[in-house]
Amino acid sequence: MRKATLAGGCFWCTESLFRALNGVQQVVSGYIGGHLTDPDYRSVCSGQTGHAEAVEIEFDEQLVSYTQLLQVFFATHDPTTLNRQGHDVGSQYRSAIFYHDAGQQAAAMDYMAMLEQQQVFAAPIVTTLEAASHFYPAEDYHQRYFELHGHEPYCQAVILPKQLKLHRLFSSLLKDG
């Protein structure tokens, strides 16, 4: 199993998307990239810890590649807004890739360069590329949030459209049933 750590705004959205992919064994919502030891949701939401809401993904490279994870990542959030995703504002909602080795770093750099060259987005990509540091799992009530609370207004308004886009663009990567 390999690990990928990605931050694309609210981790409730990001977790639900990657959990649906074939070859993804586990997705954990949590915090990474800050200076506080053992952060919690309240401290991260203050914007003072430097952490990003992120997901740590365990995946089988034989079934889904790191580049495919990047494709889903860039297609399902806005990598051109600094410290913001929709109505979620603050550095904890930044777009970031936390690489685990030189291969992931190079793959992310190459993929972002290709997106910029092809002018896929109307504005420049502001996604940061950072070496993975200690990942702190979020509190239990944040795990599998969409699966457990999909009927709530936030989930219907924000997460469901991303789910529909995932199914439209990446149906070949999804788990059966």
Tell me the CA end-to-end span of the chain in Å, nearest whole number.
Answer: 23
Contact 3, 49 (CB under 8 A): no
Residue 86 has a pLDDT of: 84
User: Which residues have a catalytic role annotated?
Assistant: 10
Q: What pLDDT score was predicted for residue 133?
A: 96
pLDDT of residue 172: 95
Spans of the chain below 50 pLDDT? none
- 57-106 residue pLDDT tens: 999 999 999 999 999 999 999 999 999 988 889 899 999 999 999 999 99
Q: Give the model's pLDDT for residue 87.
A: 82
> How many structural domains are present in the chain?
1
Q: What is the CATH number of the domain that holds 24?
A: 3.30.1060.10
User: Quick one: pLDDT at residue 105?
Assistant: 98
Q: Output phi, psi for 114, to 5 deg.
A: -65, -45
Q: How far apart are CA 175 and CA 24, in angstroms?
A: 9
What pLDDT is attached to residue 121? 96
pLDDT (0 to 100) of residue 49: 96
Where residue 24 falls (left for φ over 0; alpha for ψ -120 to 50; beta otherwise) is beta
Q: Which residues span the domain enclosing 21?
A: 2-173
pTM above 0.85, yes or no: yes
Q: Where are the alpha helices (DSSP H) in the chain?
A: 11-19, 41-45, 66-75, 102-117, 145-149, 153-154, 160-169
